[in-house]
């Protein structure tokens, strides 16, 4: 590759950037602020990163020729993860390939305000020939602290200067009553913290005022680690197979967290130097990668994490750009595949202190399930999320502009909506579950999951027979006709799509049933079912029950609680009591390993059938 430069224009954004000739399209797009998702980790297998070269299309690669059709290649379609650009080019990046609808809102819970970080202002007695105590001694005395209290070295190094420049007025910053910093003048009004929910797919961040507990701003983004794969196993493999892979993944997530901190502070018009603490929740693998701890053993039986207890670390140690004296509280994990995010969900929903029997289901890239009350709690994890996020679904995509997100019957006519009201480009998890539920009700999908032949469709829905076509691997149902989409082809539900959803919903249903069997309860005993996460927030509850993913309980018992993991992280940020509760949750909850549970496979096989329990 020579050093000649080329110009690449991205549509529809209109952004134009210069790049070195032969650079990877992914890198060029990132430099333009355009994120191209690569669910398969850049292996070229899923086809979800398909872009269109309107000018300057490079030669197709063997991988692209295996994944794309000849017609696609002739029309300028290429895979974003495989393409290197060797000439000036104009590239169209569909909305569904970039951008994502990220859930940041959760259901708030009231808890006593008791932050770990506090500030106090005092006037320090000036030294005299009759009072020659050291600066640190007189400061500690003024704050009514023992000389033996631990003091940060960097804080001590700045102490004398800070004290004298502001007329011996000094603000102490304390973490759990221990001084971590001293600032000249009265800065007590500027005391902030940030809570993070690090998901496999997205990162949500919240800025809170630690003087009041009130939220000041919110920001979210796609987790940039997905450039090596959308699932945790791909990322663990990257740390094992690539030299410096662990450092790379940690660097990616920290850089994005720093960008989010900058965005939060800009929105609240404050300095990041006034942010003294971060509370972090995420699944077990994400917590390891964030802290730079090797997650290798999470991928090998018996799937043991390197650390699971809550961690208190310096922001400097991981490169998080808040106050140089900032601290990080990493919430505890439960097991290899039930992490701090599940602890945060339980914390936010208060199920650990409630007499009511609660089932909590958080469906993301993985599906975490918790069942219990203040008497007893169980938890497990199922590999269910990828299908609901578009992986292995022909026209599947994340919740982004143009995604079909809701499907329903209106007097036997099939209707749908898309995110943003845009022309359809694909279908996200909530729309996919709706569509399958509707097709089950219409007799187009049997309880076994088979898409029937057109002549088998009941007379009541005979007008839909024209939407049933024969695809490469069986029958397909046309959800959106070609002339109404922006992808030059119809959006369809294939037989393989149905099978993928069967596997995903079957895993969740079997996990739920396993916990109920271990607890010795039935669906009738459930007092409430809480659905956490983006999918749980947007999915139509009737559809989830109809396909058999959730227990058949009255709709009134189902509650969407939004980003409960983010809410739990916020609680840990503003309350040391909540941190203690989080530790108790992690200690008390019983983890159920589904791979060794004797009845799981039978439950899973039964749960593959469509229909209510």
Residue in the structure block whose two tokens are 């022309």: 423
Report whether pLDDT(319) > 50: yes
Dihedral sign for Cα atoms in the order 390, 395, 400, 403: negative
Report whether pLDDT(327) > 90: yes
**The pLDDT of residue 109:** 61
Largest interatomic CA distance in the chain: 103
At the topology level, CATH places domain 117-184 in Ubiquitin-like (UB roll) (3.10.20)
Higher model confidence: residue 185 or residue 150?
185
Query: 161: closest CA among 139, 192, 133, 191?
Result: 139
**The pLDDT of residue 1:** 44
CA distance 282 to 287: 6
CA distance 527 to 540: 19
**The pLDDT of residue 613:** 47
Q: Are 330 and 318 in contact (CB under 8 A)?
A: no
CA distance 333 to 354: 21
| Least confident span in 31-40, 286-295, 413-422, 498-507 | 31-40
Report whether pLDDT(600) > 60: yes
Mean pLDDT for 240-252 is 95
- State pLDDT tens for residues 27-51: 888 777 777 777 666 777 777 788 8
Q: What percent of the chain has pLDDT over 70?
A: 95
Mean pLDDT for 460-487 is 92
Q: Which CATH class is domain 192-330?
A: alpha beta
Tokens representing residue 201 in the block: 């797919």
Model-level pTM? Answer: 0.81
| Least confident span in 123-132, 351-360, 491-500 | 123-132
| Least confident span in 3-17, 366-380, 510-524, 526-540 | 3-17
3-state secondary structure of 63: helix
Same fold, 192-330 and 352-385+505-607: yes
Higher model confidence: residue 205 or residue 37?
205
CA distance 281 to 6: 42
CA distance 28 to 137: 55
- State pLDDT tens for residues 61-118: 988 888 887 877 887 888 988 899 989 998 888 755 554 545 444 555 667 899 999 9
Domain range summary for the chain, segments of one domain joined by +: 5-92, 117-184, 192-330, 352-385+505-607, 388-500
Mean pLDDT for 479-491 is 92
Q: Are 365 and 359 in contact (CB under 8 A)?
A: no
| CATH code of the domain made up of 5-92 | 3.10.20.30
Q: What percent of the chain has pLDDT over 90?
A: 61
Query: 65: closest CA among 94, 48, 44?
Result: 44
CA distance 565 to 370: 13
Spatial strand order of the sheet with 5-11 comes to 15-20, 5-11, 89-92, 50-55, 77-79
Report for 13-22, 49-58, 596-605: range of highest mean pLDDT: 596-605
**The pLDDT of residue 40:** 65
Q: Which CATH architecture has domain 352-385+505-607?
A: 2-Layer Sandwich (3.30)
């Amino acid at each position: 590759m020579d050093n000649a430069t080329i110009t690449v224009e991205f549509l529809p954004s209109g952004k134009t950037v210069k790049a070195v000739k032969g650079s990877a399209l992914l890198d060029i797009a990132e430099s333009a602020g355009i994120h191209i998702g690569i669910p398969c980790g850049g292996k070229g297998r899923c086809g979800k990163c398909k872009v269109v070269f309107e000018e300057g299309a490079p030669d197709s690669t063997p991988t692209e020729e295996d994944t794309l059709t000849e017609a696609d290649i002739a029309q300028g379609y290429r895979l974003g993860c495989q393409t290197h650009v060797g000439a000036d080019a104009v590239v169209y990046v569909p909305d569904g390939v970039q951008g994502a609808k990220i859930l940041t809102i959760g259901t708030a819970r009231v808890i006593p305000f008791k932050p770990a970080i506090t500030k106090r202002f005092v006037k320090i007695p000036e030294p005299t020939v009759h009072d020659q105590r050291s600066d640190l001694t007189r400061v500690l005395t003024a704050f009514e602290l023992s000389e033996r209290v631990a003091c940060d070295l960097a804080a001590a190094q700045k102490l004398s200067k800070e004290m004298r420049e502001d007329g011996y007025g000094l603000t102490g910053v304390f973490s759990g009553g221990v001084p971590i910093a001293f600032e000249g003048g009265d800065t007590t009004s500027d005391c902030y913290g940030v809570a993070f929910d690090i998901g496999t797919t997205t990162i949500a961040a919240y800025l809170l005022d630690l003087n009041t507990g009130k939220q000041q701003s919110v920001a979210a983004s796609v987790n940039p680690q997905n450039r090596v794969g959308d699932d945790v196993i791909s990322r663990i493999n990257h740390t094992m197979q690539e030299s410096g892979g662990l450092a790379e993944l940690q660097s990616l997530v920290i850089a994005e967290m720093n960008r989010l901190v900058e965005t939060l502070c800009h929105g609240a018009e404050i300095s990041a130097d006034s942010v003294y603490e971060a509370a972090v929740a995420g699944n077990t693998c994400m917590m390891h990668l964030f802290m730079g701890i090797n997650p290798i053993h999470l991928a090998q039986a018996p799937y043991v994490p390197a650390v699971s207890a809550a961690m208190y670390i310096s922001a400097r140690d991981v490169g998080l750009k808040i106050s140089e004296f900032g601290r990080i509280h990493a919430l505890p994990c439960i097991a290899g595949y039930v992490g701090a995010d599940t602890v945060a969900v339980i914390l936010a929903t208060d199920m650990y202190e409630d007499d009511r029997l609660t089932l909590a289901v958080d469906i993301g890239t993985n599906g975490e399930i918790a069942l219990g009350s203040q008497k007893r709690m169980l938890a497990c994890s199922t590999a269910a999320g990828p299908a609901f996020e578009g992986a292995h679904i022909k026209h599947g995509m994340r919740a982004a502009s143009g995604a079909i997100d809701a499907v329903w019957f209106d007097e036997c006519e099939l209707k749908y909506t898309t995110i943003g009201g845009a022309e359809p480009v694909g279908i996200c998890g909530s729309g996919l579950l709706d569509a399958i539920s509707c097709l089950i009700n219409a007799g187009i999908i049997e309880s076994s999951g088979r898409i029937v032949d057109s002549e088998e469709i009941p007379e009541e829905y005979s007008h839909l027979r024209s939407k049933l076509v024969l695809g490469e691997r069986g029958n397909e149902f046309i959800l959106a006709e070609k002339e109404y989409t922006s992808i030059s082809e119809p959006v369809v539900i294939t037989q393989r799509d149905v099978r993928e959803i069967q596997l995903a919903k079957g895993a969740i249903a079997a996990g739920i049933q396993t916990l109920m069997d271990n607890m010795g309860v039935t669906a009738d005993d459930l007092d409430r079912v809480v659905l956490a996460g983006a999918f749980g927030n947007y999915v139509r509850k009737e559809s989830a029950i109809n396909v058999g993913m959730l227990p058949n309980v009255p709709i009134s018992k189902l509650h969407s609680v939004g980003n409960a993991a983010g809410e739990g992280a916020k609680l840990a940020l503003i309350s040391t009591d909540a941190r203690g509760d989080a530790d108790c949750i992690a200690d008390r909850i019983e983890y159920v390993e589904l791979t060794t549970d004797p009845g799981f496979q039978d439950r899973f096989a039964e749960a593959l059938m469509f229909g209510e329990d």
